[in-house]
Amino acid sequence: MATYDFVFRSLGLEDWCTAGGDNAAPMSMDALIAQSSGQEASTSIWDLPFPSMDALNDACAAFPQSRNVTLGLENGFLAVKDSISVVLDPITQPLSWMLEGALYGILNTPWWIVIPALMLIVWMVSKSWQLLTFVAISIGGLAFIDYYSYAMQTLAIIMVCAFLCVLFGVPIGIAMSRSDRMRAGTIPILDMLQTLPPFVYLIPLIFLFSVTEPKLYGIAIILYAIVPVIRLTDLGIRMVDESVIEAADAFGMTDRQKLYGVQIPLALPNIMAGVNQTIMMSLAMVVIASLVSAPGLGVLVLRGINNLELGVGLISGLGIVLLAVMLDRTTKAALNRINAAQKG
């Protein structure tokens, strides 16, 4: 006799339970020993199991097991997979083209053009000789140990994904700041994206797209990294002083003029902080995305783990740290210049 037989007896479902014998769970060792000895298995109150699906299935073979839930979800997803792919493939194909183009461009352009171009960008953003020297030494060091191509692949992927995160994230954040209803509906989605483990992003995407398509890892990176720029854009615009908005209203400014002439400029430090965090999260995800064919330094990290190559793993990890520091310091330098310009 199973522990929860009394539940189904009290409901008069004995015949239904008997008819569903094919769904029965494997008999437990305790039940087998009791059956072979001619005794009934007993459960003390101390060992009473929670009335879970499997425990109820022990008492009633027709009651579904917990594995039916996961199998049902999987079968349901597989049933609509082709329909979803028909819709998503043409929408997401430009992402593959952007990633392929960025990777092709940065790898097929001579180093003596790429590195000075990066130095020029850093100088224009930061106006800092110290940062420029650090970036030059870091990229030169990675190139000297033949990690240049891997580092540039990682940088190209981050540039594309971070650009798209800003392109879509800032308007979403602005819309959230202007509509409490949209904010209430968007916040739970952002919470889910921010707390979902990074590996989980890859599971449905593997079923939807081929591992040879760049959009597979591109979508995973964007979904993981877009949250900070949305949140901080919304927060920055909402934090604009009400007195400033009242002054803009007094001058007769339209909503569009207030947005572009007052709110966004004052919220720019928060927006730039969101961009900084988005870039950092893109870098974190691009390493994990190497599991699904994302090129770059993450491939070397994965190789170090799989082949137990300590040196390869440590050096590639150091390269990722250097990229993170370069990107972080550059975006923070831009943020500091914006803050200084607003104070001046």
Q: Tell me the pLDDT tens digit for each residue of 169-180.
A: 999 999 999 999
Last residue of a domain, one of 20, 36, 64: 64
How many domains does one find in the chain? Answer: 2
My answer on whether 188 and 107 are in the same domain is yes
Classify residue 15 by burial, with Cβ atoms within 10 Å: 0-12, 13-18, 19+: exposed
My answer on whether 123 and 152 are in the same domain is yes
Residue 226 lies in a domain: yes
Q: What sections of the chain are H helices per DSSP?
A: 5-10, 14-19, 29-36, 53-59, 66-108, 111-126, 129-144, 148-178, 180-195, 198-208, 214-225, 227-238, 242-250, 255-258, 264-288, 297-306, 310-343
Residue 120 lies in a domain: yes
Residue 75 lies in a domain: no
| Strongest mean pLDDT among 31-40, 43-52, 333-342 | 333-342
The mean-pLDDT minimum among 2-6, 217-221, 263-267 falls in 2-6
My answer on whether 34 and 95 are in the same domain is no
My answer on whether 29 and 156 are in the same domain is no
Smallest CA-to-CA distance from 85 within 185, 226, 219, 196 is with: 219
| Strongest mean pLDDT among 9-23, 38-52, 245-259 | 245-259
Smallest CA-to-CA distance from 293 within 213, 223, 226, 230 is with: 213
Amino acid at 261: G
Residue 36 lies in a domain: yes
**Tens digit of pLDDT for each residue in 274-295?**
999 999 999 989 888 998 889 9
| 343 contact partners, CB below 8 Å, separation of at least 6 | none
My answer on whether 173 and 212 are in the same domain is yes
Q: Which residue has the tokens 């879970």?
A: 52
- pLDDT bracket for residue 21 (50, 70, 90): low
Enter the tokens of residue 228.
């900070």
My answer on whether 46 and 188 are in the same domain is no
My answer on whether 49 and 117 are in the same domain is no
Residue 236 lies in a domain: yes
My answer on whether 132 and 244 are in the same domain is yes
Residue 299 lies in a domain: yes
Q: Quote the CA–CA distance of 139 and 13 in Å, as a whole number.
A: 72
CATH number at residue 193: 1.10.3720.10
Residue 101 lies in a domain: yes
pTM, to two decimals: 0.85
Sign (positive/negative) of CA torsion 84, 87, 90, 95?
negative
My answer on whether 47 and 93 are in the same domain is no
My answer on whether 167 and 218 are in the same domain is yes
My answer on whether 157 and 220 are in the same domain is yes
- pLDDT bracket for residue 60 (50, 70, 90): confident
What residue numbers bound the domain in which 259 lies?
A: 81-343
